[in-house]
C-alpha cells in the first residue's frame, strides 16, 4: 500500500472521528446514527488493513505487512478510544468553539453556557422563537423578551394587527411596542411555552433582547465571570 494512499485513508478516518465528536447526536452521513456510523468506520478500517496485508503478502513483502498491520491497529485503537470518550471530547470541542465563535452555546445536560463576546455582551445564537432561528442579546434590564420587526415576522406573528401601546425605553429613547405571547422559545435543552414578549416598532431596535419574561421561568441563571449559565427545568 503506497504511503500516499495510507495518508489519504488516515485523513478520511480523522474526518470520520471528528464527525463523531462534533455532531453530537445528529444523524451522520447516509442517515446513520452515531453508533452505526462508528461501527461502519471501524469495519472499513479493518477491511482496508486486511486488504493491505494480503496485497503485501502476495508481493512477499513481510516488512510492509508488519508496518501496515501496526499502522491500522493504532488507527483502530484511536477510533475505539475516541468513540468511548466521545461525550468528553464533544464537551471539549464545544467549549473551544464557544470561545472562538462568540454566541455559540455550550450545552451540558439541562444547562446552557454562553461566553461573553468582545463587545462585553452575551450574544446568544441558536435561539428558536416559534421555530424560527433567532439571535438574541441578554438584557436583564428588559422586563420581557423584545423582538425586532424582522424577527417577529420570521416567528409568524401577525404584524399587521399588532397594537403598539406599551411604552418602553430603548437606547434611542422612549418608544412604543406591541405586547404578544410567543408560543415557544427553545434554547438547546431549554423549552418554554407561552412566553410574554414585546415587538418593537420598525427601526427602533437593532437586536433582539432576551429579557426577564424568559429568564424568570428558568430553574436558575447566573453570570459567573465571563460566562452566562442558564439551567432549564429537568
Task: Enumerate the β-bridge partners of residue 1.
Answer: none
- Confidence band for 105, pLDDT divided at 50, 70 and 90: confident
Sign of torsion over alpha carbons 176, 195, 113, 87? negative
* pLDDT for 65 beyond 90: no
Q: What is the model's pLDDT at position 120?
A: 85
Q: For cell 513483502, what's the residue?
A: 61
Q: What is the model's pLDDT at position 150?
A: 95
Among the ranges given (102-111, 133-142, 160-169), the one the predictor scored with the smallest mean pLDDT: 102-111
Pairwise CA distance, residues 100 & 115, whole Å: 10
Among the ranges given (18-32, 39-53, 80-94, 177-191), the one the predictor scored with the smallest mean pLDDT: 18-32
Pairwise CA distance, residues 140 & 144, whole Å: 9
- Confidence band for 109, pLDDT divided at 50, 70 and 90: confident
DSSP letter for each residue of 117-155: -TTSS-EEEEEEETTEEEEEEE-TT-SSEEE-HHHHHHT
Q: What is the model's pLDDT at position 1?
A: 47
Q: What is the pLDDT of residues 1-50, one digit of tens each?
A: 455 555 666 666 666 666 555 555 555 555 555 566 566 666 666 666 66
Q: What is the model's pLDDT at position 173?
A: 64
3-state secondary structure (DSSP) of residue 104: coil
For the whole model, what pTM was predicted? 0.59
Average pLDDT, the chain: 76
Q: ∠ CA 206-177-130 to the nearest 5 degrees?
A: 70
Amino acid at each position: 500500500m503506497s504511503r500516499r494512499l495510507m495518508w489519504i485513508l488516515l485523513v478520511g478516518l480523522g474526518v470520520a472521528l471528528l464527525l463523531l465528536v462534533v455532531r453530537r447526536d445528529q444523524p451522520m452521513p447516509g442517515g446513520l446514527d452515531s453508533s452505526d456510523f462508528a461501527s461502519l468506520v471501524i469495519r472499513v478500517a479493518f477491511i482496508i488493513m486486511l486488504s493491505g496485508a494480503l496485497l503485501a503478502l502476495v508481493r512477499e513483502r513481510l516488512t510492509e505487512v508488519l508496518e501496515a498491520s501496526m499502522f491500522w491497529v493504532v488507527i483502530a485503537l484511536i477510533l475505539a478510544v475516541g468513540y468511548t470518550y466521545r461525550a468528553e471530547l464533544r464537551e471539549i470541542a464545544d467549549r473551544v468553539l464557544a470561545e472562538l465563535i462568540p454566541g455559540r452555546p455550550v450545552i451540558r445536560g439541562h444547562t446552557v453556557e454562553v461566553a461573553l463576546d468582545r463587545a462585553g455582551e452575551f450574544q446568544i445564537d441558536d435561539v428558536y422563537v416559534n421555530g424560527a432561528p433567532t439571535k438574541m442579546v441578554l438584557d436583564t434590564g428588559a422586563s420581557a423578551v423584545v423582538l425586532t420587526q424582522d424577527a417577529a415576522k420570521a416567528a409568524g406573528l401577525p404584524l399587521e394587527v399588532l397594537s403598539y401601546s406599551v411604552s418602553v425605553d430603548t437606547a434611542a429613547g422612549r418608544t412604543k411596542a406591541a405586547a404578544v405571547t410567543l408560543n415557544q422559545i427553545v434554547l438547546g435543552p431549554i423549552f418554554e411555552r407561552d412566553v410574554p414578549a414585546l415587538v418593537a416598532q420598525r427601526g427602533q431596535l437593532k437586536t433582539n433582547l432576551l429579557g426577564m419574561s424568559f429568564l424568570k421561568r428558568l430553574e436558575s441563571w447566573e453570570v459567573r465571570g465571563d460566562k452566562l449559565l442558564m439551567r432549564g427545568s429537568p
